[in-house]
Amino acid sequence: MEHTPLVFKYAEIREAGGHREELSLEPALYADAFEPQVKLKKLDLEMDFSVGGDSILLEGRVRGELEMECSRCGEPLTRVFEDSFDEVYPDTVEYIDTREAVRETAALLAPLKVLCSDNCKGRCLVCGIDRNKATCSCRTDKASPFEALRDLKVEKPGKPRKKKL
């Protein structure tokens, strides 16, 4: 088995009664786990191995510093995100390879939508100006796609229709 700081010998952890590891990983190793607009700046890892009856439990925490763009205005921002994971390894394995568990957890750090601030005004849909920095006189009045339903009369179910005499 190749030597890597994320692969451990099962027997050594069992003999020691457990193991704790704290690492700062090279961000380039996990850069491909993210969308192109997200850049991994830093990745820290904490792992605690606990020995059970016939298995070893790994409890891990991944903390990453990500450089992204605001979903509304497109301005660059850097934020720290963290998440945890756990894995159980049976005594039938010779090595505990944590690389994929770390990769999966790191890949889930980036939120689908991130804002530079809760009150970000975003960009104007017409001229594209950052509305946090300037104002524009563009009109964005669009008719609602549901406007055509406004005058629609719908009978309520279960209510008998009145007959005209």
Q: pLDDT tens digit string along 143-155?
A: 677 777 777 777 7
Asked whether residue 123 carries a pLDDT value surpassing 60, the answer given is: yes
Q: What is the DSSP letter of 34?
A: S
Identify which has the larger pLDDT, 160 or 28. 28
**Which pLDDT band, with edges at 50, 70 and 90, does 159 fall under?**
low
Asked whether residue 163 carries a pLDDT value surpassing 70, the answer given is: no
Asked whether residue 1 carries a pLDDT value surpassing 60, the answer given is: no
Beta-carbon contacts of residue 129 (< 8 Å; ≥ 6 apart):
123, 135, 136
pTM of model > 0.75:
no
Write down the pLDDT at residue 161: 62
Write down the pLDDT at residue 77: 94
Write down the pLDDT at residue 164: 64
Domain map (residue ranges) of the chain: 7-135
Say which amino acid occupies 55: S
For the stretch 62-87, pLDDT in tens is 999 999 999 999 999 999 999 999 99
Mean of the per-residue pLDDT values of the chain: 89
Of 71, 70, 68, 80, which Cα lies nearest the Cα of 36?
Answer: 68
Write down the pLDDT at residue 165: 59
For the stretch 33-52, pLDDT in tens is 888 889 999 999 999 999 99
Q: Is the sign of the CA dihedral 31, 36, 41, 47 positive or negative?
A: negative
